Amino acid sequence: MTMKDKREVVMFKFLGLILLVTAPAHAQRYTSPPASVSAVIGGKHISVAYYAPSTHGRQVMGGLVPFGQVWCTGANYATAITSDAALQMGGLKLPKGSFSIWTLPTEKEWTLIVNKQTGQFHLNYDASRDFGRTKMNLKTLPAPVETFRIELRSDGGNKGTLALLWERTEASIPFTVTQ
Q: Calculate mean pLDDT across residues 56-78.
A: 93
Q: What's the pLDDT score for residue 12?
A: 44
Angle at 73 between CA 149 and CA 79, to 5 degrees: 90
pLDDT of residue 98: 98
Q: Which region among 14-23, 117-126, 137-146 has the lowest average model confidence (pLDDT)?
A: 14-23
Considering only CA atoms, which of 104, 107, 112, 128 is closest in space to residue 175? 112
pLDDT band with cut points at 50, 70 and 90 for residue 123 = confident
pLDDT at 9: 45
- pLDDT for 3 equals 58
pTM (two decimals): 0.83
pLDDT at 78: 95
- Span 34-38, average pLDDT: 97
Q: What is the mean pLDDT of residues 148-169?
A: 97
pLDDT at 90: 92
